[in-house]
């Protein structure tokens, strides 16, 4: 067996240790709901894990390998600021929905690239980020200016 093939097999054999079941991986994160009110008069309820502490925000959805269509993670910040995210150690492609102080969608970074260390910016002051499965915003018509109502745990 060639050395590159042997290394690849070792790497693949180790992946299940990282790709834990979603509930196990996110144990300890509080749960709540985020309601999205789209310009098409649609209300979408997202069952969300809440990343509230610095440690939780740093861990986020790392190594989570599946999420339901109406599941996501809400990252809250105490003061409006330019928020910068990345996809390091994140298995799933995501839509990142940046939310301003006014509770409106300020920016959507659609279809982010798994494992990437590229910086993804809110592009302006924001107080929260909702991470959803990639393509969610396009599938459900979520757009800049739509309302986001956070129902904290």
Res. 11: pLDDT tops 50: no
pTM of the full structure: 0.85
pLDDT confidence of residue 7: 41
Res. 5: pLDDT tops 70: no
Res. 3: pLDDT tops 80: no
Domains assigned to the chain:
21-151 (2.60.120.1140)
pLDDT digits (tens, 9 = 90+) for 74-128: 999 999 999 999 999 999 999 999 999 999 999 999 999 999 999 999 999 999 9
Res. 17: pLDDT tops 70: no
pLDDT confidence of residue 20: 52
Q: Are 137 and 110 within 8 A, CB to CB?
A: yes
| Residue 69 tokens, joined | 């269509």
């Amino acid at each position: 067996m060639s050395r590159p093939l042997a290394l690849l097999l070792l790497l693949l054999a180790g992946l299940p240790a990282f790709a834990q079941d979603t509930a196990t991986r996110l144990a300890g994160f509080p749960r709540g709901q985020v309601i999205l009110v789209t310009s098409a008069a649609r209300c979408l309820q997202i069952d969300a894990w809440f990343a509230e502490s610095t440690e939780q925000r740093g861990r986020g959805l790392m190594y989570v390998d599946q999420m339901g269509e109406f599941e996501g993670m809400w990252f809250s910040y105490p003061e409006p600021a330019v928020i910068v995210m990345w996809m390091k150690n994140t298995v799933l492609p995501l839509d990142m929905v940046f939310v301003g102080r006014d509770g409106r969608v300020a920016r959507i970074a659609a279809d982010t690239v798994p494992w990437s260390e590229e910086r993804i910016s809110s592009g302006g002051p924001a107080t929260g980020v909702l991470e959803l499965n990639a393509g969610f915003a396009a599938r459900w018509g979520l757009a800049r200016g739509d309302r986001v109502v956070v129902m904290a745990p």
